[in-house]
Structure 1
Amino acid sequence: MANLVLVTGASSGIGEAAARLYGEGGAKVLLLARNRERLDRVAGAIREGGGKAAAYSVDLADAAAIEETSARILREHGTPDILINNAGAGRWKSLLDTTAEEALAMIEVPYLAAFNLTRAFLPGMIARKGGAIACITSPASYLVWPKATAYIAARHAMAGFAEALRADLKGTGVTVTLVVLGTVETPYWEHNPGSRENMPAPNPLLAPTLSSEEAARVIRDALERGRRTVFKPAILRALVLLNAVAPRLVAKQLRRALPKPSTARGD
């Protein structure tokens, strides 16, 4: 069992659910996010339930802040057994509707945040010859559709990071798991207005919406089994495989699934 688990984006949604799940399981949970008030609330709830938790308010888009916070964590707790790179941000918008600042922010979180945090804790994992790293992403790491240009590019970076890191770490005892989640009902949609309207309409029979708690269990189970890549709902794997051999067909279907302009709310 993992004794020390670090979760980013732990103040709400999937990150909060994962932190609570590991806390209930007996692990000490380190919670990272920007919002101090919400972090303290989650950490307090874990402690009230008999678990152990420590909150670290940090701007994950700031490399220097990550370095400082990581050094503090290493001093106070040591190297995590599990690192869950879950924090993400970014509105789904077309290229011309996306500013340069917004595009940069989507690269800073999730990709550079995962890069910098992993880089901080990886030496300890390698020295220990053990550890597990999870990178949480969306189908946008493999599929493309209109009106989400910068978001899709950033999510492709996350998949590339996880797969390249896995190649780097072969034989070290450190595992890398890429978790690809379909639609999850979280506060993300409230924080990124206009994104839901630019999402291809899901088929409820093939790709049901997940709760944050369901997503957290997917992450935990994937790490426990040492899985390389996990798709949830499982139908996403078939869609990604189809995209590899017939990308035009998949792209056409995703375009058809987009809301019609007359029904979509503008940004």
Structure 2
Amino acid sequence: MASKLILVTGASSGIGAATAKHYGAAGAKVLLLARNRDRLEAVASDIRASDGSASPYAIDLADADAVTEVSAEITADHGAPDVLINNAGTGRWLSILNTTPEEARAMMDVPYFAAFYVSRAFLPAMVARRSGRIACITSPAGYLAWADACAYIAARHAMKGFAEAMRADLKGTGVSVTLVVLGTVETPYWEHNPGSREHLPATNPRLLPTLTPDQAASAIVDGVERRRRTVIKPGIFRAIFIANALFPTFVARQLRKKG
């Protein structure tokens, strides 16, 4: 990892911060992107305190022009990243009737358009170099659908489709794409999106335990290093996705039960 350049979006807290710290502890140089400058600086300070290397870039990832500018700055300062983690995400879990057009657009801006802008900015250099790894982080909402999370689910389906289509575009270029599907993770997301947790479908915590940010970060780092096509954690979601494909009515009935 000592020679690797890692870029993590949504790196100011939660999964992104934990992933950045994992890479920093392994000796990589980490580039941190998110909107909140103070929280980014705090994450960068933690990485440096552990003898890691981190450079924060405060940016609104929903702004295509801002992404173009910061990607040019990063390329001039560091070169193109070896690993790009598209982790930034936002959005409350609301029904379509309770979601404004502005909220729906914002939920598509981040994660989907943010991932598109950042990936497209660095891909030419990765393809020219014939090496690179990209991860797109989504949730089981990319495979399933339940009530009271309409725009959120649509955006996560978009992330899944983006990762799979980008992988097809990049076949034979030396650049790999990993789709990471994470179940419930205990992060500040729930505090920043009040009312969302109440819309979680009911689950058995022994079968589908809540992940810590460190567990999520470990799954991301391991999957990217192994160049896996898809990482799903907890793994039992694989069986749930298969069941949904075979018995969609039954699965939809189960998802109506709230936690």
Pairwise same-fold verdict (TM > 0.5): yes
User: Which string of whole-angstrom CA distances, capped at 9 and with x for unpartnered residues, describes residues 204-247 of structure 1?
Assistant: 11110000001000000001111001110000011011111111
Aligned residue-pair number: 258
Residue identity matched to 1:101: E
The corresponding residue for 1:215 is: 216
CA offsets 1:62-84 (integer angstroms, 9 cap, x no match): 11111111111111110000000
Note the alpha carbon deviations across 1:92-144, whole angstroms, 9 max, x for none.
00000000000000000000000000000000110010100000010000000
Distance 2:131 2:242 in 1: 31
1:198 aligns with 2:228: no
Give the alignment's Cα RMSD to 1 decimal: 0.8
Report the CA distance between 1:48 and its aligned residue: 1.2
Aligned equivalent of 2:237:
236
State the match for 1:153 in structure 2: 154
Q: Tell me the distance in 2 between the aligned counterparts of 1:203 and 1:115.
A: 35
With the length of structure 1 as denominator, give the TM-score of the two structures.
0.95
Q: Which amino acid aligns with 2:23?
A: Y
The aligned counterpart of 2:56 is 55
Aligned runs of 1:91-240 on 2, under 5 Å?
91-240=92-241
Deviations for 1:143-201, whole angstroms, at most 9, x for unmatched residues? Answer: 00000000000100000000000000000110000000000000000011110011112
The equivalent residue for 1:247 is 248
Which moved further from structure 2: 196-205 or 232-241? 196-205
**Structure 1, residues 17-41: CA drift from partner, whole Å, max 9, x if none?**
0000000000000000000000001
**Cα separation, 1, equivalents of 2:46 and 2:150:** 38
Q: Name the SS of the counterpart of 2:256 in structure 1.
A: helix
Paired with 1:68 and 1:102, the residues of 2 have a C-alpha distance of: 26
Residue identity matched to 1:173: G
1:17 and 2:18 matched:
yes
Partner Cα separation in structure 2 for residue 245 and residue 81 of structure 1: 38
Task: Give the TM-score taking structure 2 as reference length.
Answer: 0.98
Give distance in 2, aligned partners of 1:163 and 1:205.
31
Structure 1: runs of 5+ lacking an equivalent: 260-267
Take 2:202 and 2:34, find their aligned partners in 1: how far apart are those partners? 30
SS in 1 for 2:158: helix
Q: Secondary structure at the match of 1:46?
A: helix
Structure 2: how far apart are the matches of 1:121 and 1:62? 16
The aligned amino acid for 1:142 is Y
Deviates more, 1:27-36 or 1:202-211: 202-211
Distance of 1:127 and 1:206 partners within structure 2: 44
Uncovered stretches (5+) of structure 2, i.e. residues with no partner = none
Q: For residue 185 of structure 2, what is the amino acid of its counterpart?
A: V
